[in-house]
Amino acid sequence: MVVLKEGMCPGLDEGLLRDLRAADIKTVEDLVSSDIERLAQQCSVSYKALFAIRRVLLAQHTAFPVSGADLYEELLSSTAILSTGNPSLDKLLDSGLYTGEITELSGGPGSGKSQVCFGVAVHVSHQLKQSVIYIDTTGGLTAGRLLQMLKTETSSTQEQTEALQRIHVFRLFDVFSVLDCLYSLRGGVLQQASVGGGGGSVRAVIVDSVSAVISPLLGGKQTEGMSLMIQVAGVLKTMAKDFNVAALVTNHVTTSGSGEVQPGLGVSWSHIPRTRILLQRAENAAAAGRSGLRTATLIKSSRQPCHIKEEFDLRWWSRSEGGSSSGKRKLEETDS
Amino acid sequence: MGYFTAGNNKAMLLLVSCVAMCDSYFEKVRAELYLQGMLGHWSRRDVWSCRQQLAGQMQRPVSSLSLSPSVKVKLAGAGFQFTAELLQFTPAQLRAETALSQEEALEVLQAVRTGGGEEGAGAPLTALELLLQEEDFQSIMTFSSQLDDALGGGLPVGRMTEICGAPGVGKTQLCLQLSVNVQVPQCFGGLEGQVIYIDTEGSFLLQRVVDIADAAVRHCSLLVEDDEQRAAVTTFSVETVLSNIFLVRCRDYVELLAELHLLPGFLLEHPRVRLLVIDSVAFPFRQLFDELSQRTRLLNSLAQQLIAIATTHHVGVVITNQMTTRVRGSQSQLVPALGESWGHASSIRLLLHWQGCQQLATILKSPGHMEADIQYQITSAGFRDTSQSEQPQSKRPRTHSDQSAATQRDTSC
């Protein structure tokens, strides 16, 4: 739906525009869907002229076909698979996060969603030397933890600093500022990055969590929430596709009537991510006391059979420290 | 996505116009074939660059702006879908085009210009800058050295912490203790801040605050080593502690929500506030709700508001939550109240519970710390380590370890 303007196409002059307005034709959509013959009589212009204008407008606003062979070639040259840095998760995701797609992590409180996001951010920025955009909507991003993860990867302060500098953090707490941010990213930062190419371009956008900004709008008598949710989904999708970045989002979970745990935000959102993973505390671990063991279940994927499960340990990312001492390690670092 | 919009690609446009304006049918078909041929011969790179160009120009829908629904409906009625179409308008012109009032038109144009611009979302921080920021912020001591250890120095400023627990386990006591501790002078390793205490249950006990403050003041006076600390102790008294606590009594959820809307202004006037306590968030929300989805929505927006306050004003937010029983088949389980989605709201979740005759604090979730169980006790002086538990030797700054040693002394006598 675009408003008709003078000079949009040859033949659409001021006089005709005025006539069209009088006939209640304001937008391209109106013109395209109107009965041309009747309109020609109403505005007293030639049928041929109106027909030509419509053709130009249609051609201007249409999508154009690309051959599958070209797409395949493009896919080979521009798609990347970003490893999450954790072998079990990589196995579940068919070797990692694909650029151009939205991957979703869902799970209850303390199920390790943010930890996986941290791990991915650190891995992409340090191992793959690419920039990461991290949109934090829950205030959960702890740079101290990122540093802790980095320290297990490298002992060089220089490399740690560089890796941290490649992680760009936005802290936004409502849906409109998230939308502002995503649109301006698409118009600005990512555009430059993709044109510039080379090392250090943005390859991953992480939104932790997408449900935190959307769920305040859903429920009750609000109707706008749905539309805003789809807006967020749309901009994330086009961004992922057009700039070849991997989008990783997190979602909360709800428990259905039968006691089954499923990702939140309802059915319409469930169509948005290409791959969905459900994180849960490992059942046997709950009995054994505190541990970082989690199970990840693949609930939607276009590549792998669904409902395959993998078990992994959140302490993987701080492995060389040896388990429970990590909390203390951090204390030493920040204090000294 | 490869939608053409006007003026995107001059050559394309020209070509398409040619086809459309051709007079004879024969000519048209030929031109069309030519056009198709052109597209067919476009190399991958051409298609790619064209798509890149288009993507950058892809416009932002008006409906994604932060405007009231009625304004959006009016704009859509007048045929405006993308913000770019509104950019050239003056308020008067926009009023003529649409059914908007003068103020609404101004508001729309403002939203279009700030929201669509590059600077709309503010500059990002790098994780390195964030790390430096985090190191600048101190944590609020709990006076239980083991819990401080597990949390990396205490409850963090700039984050939201939730304390859950059954009645009588010490949630309010911990809140009162934190309200006093946040005021400890800087030379003793404290934050010398003020506190806003939102009381919804009517459980704020002044007598307990006096006890706890008295213990903390005595404690600091025992630690005095140099002149700076001596000077600080003279101003750190029970009276000043009490005068730095702003108590807000909210009787129902409407009062609570209204108070939170006014808080940012209050915080600007009182820049020394470092702690916001809500005791408890569950109480006003566990009553008088016919529709559960409405409650969830209100709670979620409350959570986002609190997180925003915590981050922008560098305030530690501590909220308490009650427990509820969840029945699963034949088993019942005690879980934090307010539903599953509320669990995502806080960054750190502490569960206080009894195990036999011991009181345990469990870190249920935290982005930066391991899960842990810590023993504690509530003494007349406040929240403390259990005296018999072994103190793990850890590297802490001197002031801290002095304090914790003194804490032990206090609790044992």
CATH of the domain at B105: 1.10.150
CA distance A11 to chain B (A): 9
One domain, residues B99 and B231: no
Residue B51, min C-alpha distance to chain A (Å) = 7
- Residue A214, in any domain of the structure: yes
B216: CB partners within 8 A, 6+ apart: B143, B180, B181, B184, B241, B382
Which of B16, B31, B59 terminates a domain? The answer is B59
Angstroms from A94 CA to nearest CA on chain B: 26
State the pLDDT at residue B64: 81
Q: b/e string for B36-50 if b means 16 or more Cβ within 10 A?
A: eeeeeebebeebbeb
CB-based contacts of B395, cutoff 8 Å, min separation 6:
A331, A332, A335, A336
**What digits encode the pLDDT tens for the residues B232-282?**
888 888 999 999 999 999 988 889 999 999 999 999 999 999 999 999 888
- Are B88 and B218 members of one domain? no
**B110 and B226 co-located in one domain:** no
- pLDDT at residue number B266: 94
Of A161, A170, A291, the CB nearest to B128: A161
Q: How far apart, in whole angstroms, are the C-alpha atoms of residue A252 and residue A149?
A: 24
Contact by Cβ (8 Å): B285, B325: no
Q: Does B125 fall in a domain?
A: no
Query: Of all helices (H) and strands (E), which one includes residue A286?
Result: helix A283-288
Residue A52 within any structural domain of the chain? no
In a domain, A303, yes or no: yes
User: Which of chain B's residues have a Cβ under 8 Å away from the Cβ of A29?
Assistant: 79
- The answer on B220 and B335 residing in a single domain is yes
Does some domain include residue B130?
no
pLDDT digits (tens, 9 = 90+) for A70-93: 888 888 888 888 988 888 889 888
Residue closest to A103 by CA, chosen among A115, A90, A112, A88: A90
Residue A254: CB partners within 8 Å, gap ≥ 6? A261, A262, A263, A264, B340, B341
pLDDT of residue A13: 79
- Report the candidate in B118, B124, B347 with the shortest Cα–Cα distance to residue A132: B124
Q: Which of B6, B17, B44 sits opposite A10 (nearest CB)?
A: B17
Q: What is the per-residue pLDDT across B99-116, written as a single tens digit (0 to 9) for each?
A: 788 888 888 888 887 765
- The single-letter DSSP state of residue A289 is -
Residues of B in contact with A109 (CB under 8 A): 340, 343-344, 349, 364-365
Domain-embedded: residue A28? no
**Nearest-by-Cβ selection for B3 from A63, A118, A228:** A63
Give the model's pLDDT for residue B396. Answer: 39
pLDDT in tens, A274-323: 999 999 887 765 555 556 788 899 988 888 888 888 888 877 776 644 33
Q: Tell me: the pLDDT tens digits for B194-214?
A: 999 999 988 888 999 999 999
pTM attached to this predicted model: 0.80
pLDDT at A284: 64
Residue B340 has pLDDT above 90, yes or no: no
CB spacing of A219 vs B296 below 8 angstroms? yes
Q: Looking at the domain assignment, is residue B128 inside a domain?
A: no
Contact B403, B223 (CB under 8 A): yes
Residues B317 and B300 in one domain: yes
Give yes or no: residues B202 and B338 share one domain. Answer: yes
Considering A193-207, A217-231, B343-357, B382-396, the range whose residues carry the highest mean pLDDT is B343-357
Residue A124 lies in a domain: yes
Q: Looking at the structure, tell me whether residues B255 and B284 fall in a common domain.
A: yes
Name residues whose C-beta falls within 8 Å of residue B406's C-beta, 6 or more positions apart in sequence: B219, B222, B223
Dist. CA B392–CA B148, nearest whole Å: 12
Q: Are residues B151 and B245 in the same domain?
A: yes
The reply to whether B129 falls in a domain is no
Q: Which of residues 73-92 of B touch A (CB under 8 A)?
A: 76, 78-82, 85
| Contact criterion met (CB < 8 Å) for A164 and B128 | yes
Domain count across chain A? 1
With an 8 Å Cβ cutoff, is B293 touching chain A? yes
Subunit contact A139:B159, Cβ cutoff 8 A: yes
Q: What is the pLDDT of residue A190?
A: 59
Nearest chain B alpha carbon to A122: B127
Give yes or no: residues B336 and B253 share one domain.
yes
Residues B163, B100 share a domain: no
The phi and psi torsions of A26 (rounded to 5 degrees) equal -110, -35
Per-residue pLDDT of B129-171, as tens digits, reads: 888 888 888 889 888 888 998 888 889 898 899 999 988 898 9
State residue A1's pLDDT score: 55
Q: Which residues of B touch A121 (CB under 8 A)?
A: 127
The reply to whether B99 and B23 lie within a common domain is: no
Q: Do A1 and B51 touch (CB under 8 A)?
A: no
Contacts of A324 in chain B (CB under 8 A): 370, 372
pLDDT tens figures, B283-315: 888 876 677 778 888 888 899 999 999 988 999
User: Where in the sequence is the domain holding B113, given as residue range(s)?
Assistant: 64-120
B249 contacts B201 by C-beta, under 8 angstroms: no
B127 part of a folded domain = no
Query: Which ipTM was obtained for this model?
Result: 0.78
In a domain, B126, yes or no: no
Closest C-alpha among A106, A145, A121 to residue A278 = A106
- Please identify which residue in the block is written with the tokens 């309010």: B172
Kindly list the residues from chain A whose CB atom is less than 8 angstroms away from the CB atom of residue B298: 220
Q: What is the CATH number of the domain that holds A274?
A: 3.40.50.300
Instruction: Using alpha carbons, select from B371, B327, B334, B364 the residue that is nearest to residue B349.
Output: B364
Domain that holds residue A157: 77-335
Task: Please tell me the total count of domains within chain B.
Answer: 3
Q: Hey, what are B409's tokens?
A: 């002394």
Cβ proximity of B308 and B168 under 8 Å: no
**What is d(CA B14, CA A332) in angstroms, rounded to the nearest whole number?**
67
- Does some domain include residue A46? no
Positive or negative, the CA dihedral A183, A189, A191, A193 is negative
Count other C-beta atoms under 10 Å from residue A155's C-beta.
9
Asked if B131 reaches chain A (Cβ–Cβ under 8 Å), the answer is yes
Q: Is B131 among the domain residues?
A: no
Å between A318 CA and nearest CA of chain B: 11
What is the mean predicted confidence (pLDDT) over B18-36?
A: 45
